[in-house]
Amino acid sequence: MSDVQRPLVMHVIHHLVIGGMENGLVNLINHMPEERYAHVCVCIEDFSSFRSRIERSDVEVIALQRSRIGIWELRRQLYHLCKQLKPAIVHTRNLSGLDALLPSWLAAVPHRVHGEHGWDVGDLRGAGLRSKALRTMHSPLVNKYVAVSRDLASFLRHRIGIRQSRISQIYNGVDTTRFAPRRGNETLPVPDNFREQGVVVFGTVGRLQAVKDQATLIRAFGQLTREHPRAAQRARLMLVGDGPLRNQLKDLADSLALAGRIHFTGASDDVPATLAAMDVFVLPSLNEGVSNTVLEAMASGLPVLATSVGGNPELVRDDVTGRLFPPQDVEKLCSLMAQYLDEPEQRVRHGGGARRRALDEFSLQTMVDRYVDLYDSLH
């Protein structure tokens, strides 16, 4: 089918790099039937080699580099892109995506969708006056909102004043074929002492930045190895990802004498393999929308320890698929890690529950179908 017959969706995102929201966008494009919609990705800033994960050859990725050209030139370029490409839908995401709403309205784009996907450490609940004012000011330009969790849908209703009828709540989906329980014969990307008999590997995946709060996980793991019998011999910790706090987190690990028991992998191009090397997944974030890495860990059959914030309680059913703990609570996290260390049957039970829930409620196909229905409803 020709592009003339396919409506074009212009996705506007801050940058296309490794991240949960970005991964969700790539999954949506890759798995949406090609004959239904054409796509273009416009980055407010830039993109990295992560853009190569878009498998469709007909998808252009454009970087506008706002920090270099300034806000008014950005808006001018967005306006001209809309006039040139004539998208049927502009789909913006998070705060920086708001910059595209006025230019697309002025360019007579028929429909505008805005998605809320999560929070930054500087504004963990969207309570900042500036961010609230920007969302409120732009709301008349939005035809439909997407919230990736019930928590975010509630935020839009009660903090921004958006009518329920304008909000679609669509969970992220996970590829349950790509992310699946390990078969036992994989070559695991970890040091040799992480593969020893009886070792339990705790791990997390995410950008090393303040909102992800890997420091709490390192402190809890350090306490575990100091206070729990045999933990120094049996417990290991993997941190998968890179970011601005890498050196600071390594210094923290060194100060807690965790050499040999903690492994910083850096950024990974094979997240399924890193999850296969883990026995327990931990997400210590200060806040979340809906975490793709939690969904990937669940699909991989891992029990999940996650902070009781944002959309996490909507994914992790306490004592069914894992356990929840308060953010920055080192003592509680240490206690939960100790339970998993001592009770392998609990790890198996929660991991099985996590896999079943990923299959039943968070499939990639369900997510794609809901976005197709949303886009179709706008015509």
DSSP string, 247-309: HHHHHHHHHTT-TTTEEEEES-S-HHHHHHT-SEEEE--S--SS-HHHHHHHHTT--EEEESS
Take residue 31 and report the two structure tokens written for it: 């798995």
Domain around 78: 8-173+363-377
**131 and 197 part of one domain:** no
Of 85, 123, 122, the residue nearest 104 (C-alpha): 85
Please report whether residue 2 resides in a domain.
no
- The predicted pLDDT at position 129 comes to 84
- Residue 6 CA neighbour count, 13 Å, CB half: 17
**163 and 231 part of one domain:** no
- The predicted pLDDT at position 2 comes to 47
φ, ψ of residue 324 to 5 degrees: the values are -110, 150
- pLDDT, tens digit, for every residue of 99-117? 999 999 999 999 999 999 8
For the chain, how far is it from start to end, CA to CA, in angstroms?
18
Here the CATH number for the domain that contains residue 287 is: 3.40.50.2000
Q: Which residue has the tokens 């609940």?
A: 125
- The predicted pLDDT at position 1 comes to 44
**276 and 140 part of one domain:** no
- The predicted pLDDT at position 68 comes to 97
Size (the chain), residues: 379
**353 and 245 part of one domain:** yes
323: amino acid identity, one letter: R
**235 and 119 part of one domain:** no
Contact 211, 124 (CB under 8 A): yes
**208 and 350 part of one domain:** yes
Please report whether residue 261 resides in a domain.
yes
Contact 90, 12 (CB under 8 A): yes
Take residue 256 and report the two structure tokens written for it: 């807690």
**117 and 218 part of one domain:** no
Please report whether residue 184 resides in a domain.
no
Element (H, E) at 144: strand 144-147
Please report whether residue 246 resides in a domain.
yes
Q: Which long-range contacts (CB under 8 A, 24 or more apart) does 366-370 make?
A: 366/171, 366/173, 367/24, 367/27, 367/28, 367/170, 367/171, 367/172, 367/173, 368/27, 368/28, 368/31, 368/32, 368/173, 370/168, 370/170
Please report whether residue 181 resides in a domain.
no
**94 and 138 part of one domain:** yes
Contact 41, 81 (CB under 8 A): no
**15 and 139 part of one domain:** yes
**132 and 280 part of one domain:** no
Please report whether residue 32 resides in a domain.
yes
Please report whether residue 75 resides in a domain.
yes
**373 and 345 part of one domain:** no
Contact 364, 176 (CB under 8 A): yes
**167 and 203 part of one domain:** no
Beginning with the edge strand found earlier in the chain, give each strand of the sheet holding 167-169 in spatial order. 60-63, 38-43, 8-13, 89-93, 111-116, 144-147, 167-169
Contact 256, 222 (CB under 8 A): yes
Take residue 99 and report the two structure tokens written for it: 């910059």
Please report whether residue 208 resides in a domain.
yes
Overall number of domains in the chain? 2
Which residue ranges of the chain lie beneath pLDDT 50? 1-3
> Rg (Cα) of the chain, in Å, rounded?
21
**pTM, full prediction:** 0.82
